[in-house]
Amino acid sequence: MTSSRLSKLSAAMQTSGLEALALNAGPSLVYLTGLHFHLSERPVVALFTPGNEPVIVLPELEMLKVSGMPVKAFPYPENPADWQAVFRQAVGFLKLDGKRIGVEPRQMRLLEFRSLEAATGTASRRTDFPDASELVSSLRICKDKDEIVAMRKAVKVAQSALEATIPLIKTGMTENELASELVVQLLRSGSQSEMPFAPIVSGGPNSANPHASPSNRKIQPGDLLVVDWGAAVDGYISDLTRTFAVRDVQEEYRKIHQVVLEANAAGRAVGKPGLACAVVDQAARKVIERSGYGVYFTHRTGHGIGMEGHEEPYMRGDNLQLLQPGMAYTVEPGIYLPERNGVRIEDNMVITDTGVECLSDMPRELRVVG
């Protein structure tokens, strides 16, 4: 458990006016405590209050995870009928009735929330559950040296895995078959088994869908082949995309790849401390718009990365948040021609004290496979 992170949380809570923070199983709980729990039918909720050790409600079978740790545990047995009484004990221990308990709406499930809500309700004092996303993000958004080292390793693992997969690409194999080969290589190269996301492998018309799922469509000559993949190392992730040509492709497809390549370079080049996130988006988008393909770039230029595949900051044209040292994010412009072909090129960046570093260096040029 990281005492410095808990101290920062206490200070941030006092500034925000929150009297407690409730987290269920997920990245923020890992970040603050190092405790890993899977989301399941058994709820787990940790309660943080300024200046006090965390309180955690958890199944009896998980007690070994907190053995010897500076937490106050409230375990519950298997019978769901007994769970609510244990939640009430934890809330009563911290005297949270009628207080402001922050939650993460994108992470907190209704299962845990209802248990917490029922445990804190009284006839005379209503407990408030404000959105604490910004508070938690403010702790996690700037990565320290060790976090960046882990992300750099995750990039290296991902790149090694795809390089090992490229020789296996053959026309006639399905997207699912190629995705399966890539998963095997990710594991062989050193990724944790719980990867940041299932790889996207999409060819031809499917590549025009930015978030396509691999299908049984066979890879064919003339396809552009988009591969969006990542690895996880020490709890931190990489998220990369490269686009390939399956044998000979039409000249227009080579053209849009070159445009996206230039947009990616423009987006990578502008990052620095004090720059608005919007400027990164604008730099990449301007290249594509000048080429006449602006209408086919249908998403933001990037998103933050770290313990999650998508987190703050977001590289959107309307986001005036200023980049700071330690912020890590993707640059991933794309052009998607409906029912024809698509291109995306994605790299991982981190803001330094003086500028920006690109963590990924796998070739971005259009490579021919198959």
Q: Where are the domains positioned within the chain?
A: 3-139, 142-369
- Is there a contact between 224 and 257 (Cβ–Cβ < 8 Å)? yes
d(CA 267, CA 346): 10
Give the residues across from 225 on adjacent strands: 203, 244
Mean pLDDT of 149-171: 98
Mean pLDDT of 144-169: 98
Q: How far is CA 269 from CA 61, 134, 266, in A?
A: 50, 28, 5
Mean pLDDT of 71-76: 98
- pLDDT at residue 3, as a whole number: 83
DSSP 8-state class, residue 81:
G
Strand order in the sheet with 347-351: 311-315, 302-304, 328-331, 347-351, 356-358
- The pLDDT-based confidence of 122 (bands split at 50, 70, 90) is low
- pLDDT at residue 247, as a whole number: 97
> What is the torsion angle, in degrees rounded to the nearest 10, for the CA atoms of residue 301, residue 268, residue 310 and residue 45?
-140
- pLDDT at residue 184, as a whole number: 98
Tens of pLDDT, residues 20-56: 999 999 999 999 999 999 999 999 999 999 989 999 9
CB atoms inside a 10 Å sphere around CB 237: 29
- Is there a contact between 61 and 76 (Cβ–Cβ < 8 Å)? no
- pLDDT at residue 210, as a whole number: 97
Out of 3.30.230.10, 3.40.1160.10, 3.30.56.10, 3.40.350.10, the CATH code matching 3-139 is 3.40.350.10
- The pLDDT-based confidence of 124 (bands split at 50, 70, 90) is low
Handedness of CA 344, 350, 351, 356 (dihedral sign): negative
Tell me phi and psi for residue 325, to 5 degrees. Answer: -55, 135
d(CA 57, CA 73): 6
3-class DSSP assignment, residue 337: strand
Share of the chain above pLDDT 90, in %: 95
Helix, strand, coil % in the chain, rounded to nearest 5? 40, 25, 40
Mean pLDDT of 98-107: 94
Domains 3-139 and 142-369 share a fold: no
- The pLDDT-based confidence of 127 (bands split at 50, 70, 90) is confident
Which burial class, exposed, middle or buried, applies to 260 when counting CB atoms under 10 A from its CB (0-12, 13-18, 19+)? buried
- pLDDT at residue 369, as a whole number: 98
195 pLDDT above the threshold of 80 = yes
Mean pLDDT of 180-199: 97
- The pLDDT-based confidence of 90 (bands split at 50, 70, 90) is very high
Share of the chain above pLDDT 70, in %: 99
- pLDDT at residue 339, as a whole number: 97
| Higher pLDDT among residues 17 and 64, named by residue | 64
Tens of pLDDT, residues 217-269: 999 999 999 999 999 999 999 999 999 999 999 999 999 999 999 999 999 99
Closest CA to 267 of 238, 299, 244: 299
3-class DSSP assignment, residue 356: strand
User: What pTM was estimated for this model as a whole?
Assistant: 0.95
- pLDDT at residue 125, as a whole number: 67
* DSSP code per residue over 287-321: HHHHTT-GGG--S-SEEE-SSSSSEEEEE-TT--P
- pLDDT at residue 121, as a whole number: 72
For the domain 142-369, what is the CATH superfamily, name and number? Answer: Creatinase/methionine aminopeptidase superfamily (3.90.230.10)
Alpha helices in 95-194 (DSSP H): 110-120, 133-140, 145-165, 175-189
Alpha carbon 309 to chain centroid distance?
Answer: 2
Q: How far is CA 73 from CA 54, 89, 107, in A?
A: 9, 11, 21
Mean pLDDT of the chain: 96
